[in-house]
Amino acid sequence: MLMPAPSALIRPVADADGQSVAALIAACFAEYPGCLFSWDEFPELRAPASWAAGRGTRMWVLDGHGAAIDGCICATPDGQGAMELHKFYLASALRGSGLAQELAGLVFERAHETGAQSIFLWTDTRFTRAHRFYEKLSFARQPQTRLLGDISDTTEFLYTLPLVTST
């Protein structure tokens, strides 16, 4: 699947972005009844660049107006030949603009760079618009679910996408 080249507004996360990334995630959660943000469940956002570097994760953000972050996404190799796509959020006003595809394209690019055989993600069962987006990118929902045991009582669906490797 061909993805658009990254926008000049997309850059690697910095530790100073943590508060703005948290605000973005909290705003996305607020769109769903019972979906709550707690700093206790996102301690990595206190220094996201340091957290990402310490685990081989790449995290990118979409600069917004002023100090705001309008989008974020992470790619983390799982050590077993797959790439996890996670922390994928986009401000509601920008959905449908093509920026989500640009962000997702970075994960696809990273997966290809590392030779990943597949990409997987876990997504809250309430995020129905996100599910349609993942399916548009050819991800398939799997029968597995997981319970997070968090303050939002989250259940997540697993989505996977095998990657075509050139020989």
Q: What are phi and psi of 136, to 5 degrees?
A: -60, -30
Each residue of 86-132: pLDDT tens digit? 999 999 999 999 999 999 999 999 999 999 999 999 999 999 999 99
DSSP designation for 123 = E
The per-residue pLDDT for range 127-158, each reduced to its tens digit, is 999 999 999 999 999 999 999 999 999 999 99
Whether residue 76 is contained in a domain is answered as yes
- Rounded CA-CA distance 90/2 in Å is 21
4 inside domain: no
The reply to whether 127 falls in a domain is yes
Q: Is 167 part of any domain? A: no
Residue 5 lies in a domain: no
Q: Do 21 and 13 meet the contact criterion of CB atoms below 8 Å apart?
A: yes
Give me the domain span that covers residue 146: 10-162
How far, in Å, CA of 64 to CA of 127, rounded?
23
CATH code assigned at 106: 3.40.630.30
Q: How many domains does the chain have?
A: 1
Rounded to two decimals, what is the model's pTM?
0.91
pLDDT in tens, 41-80: 999 999 999 999 989 999 999 998 777 999 999 999 999 9
Q: Is 33 among the domain residues?
A: yes
List beta partners, residue 160: 120, 140
- pLDDT at position 7 is 54
Is 22 inside any structural domain?
yes
In a domain, 59, yes or no: yes
| HEC secondary structure over 49-116 | HHHHHCCCCEEEEEECCCCCEEEEEEEEECCCCEEEEEEEEECHHHCCCCHHHHHHHHHHHHHHHHCC
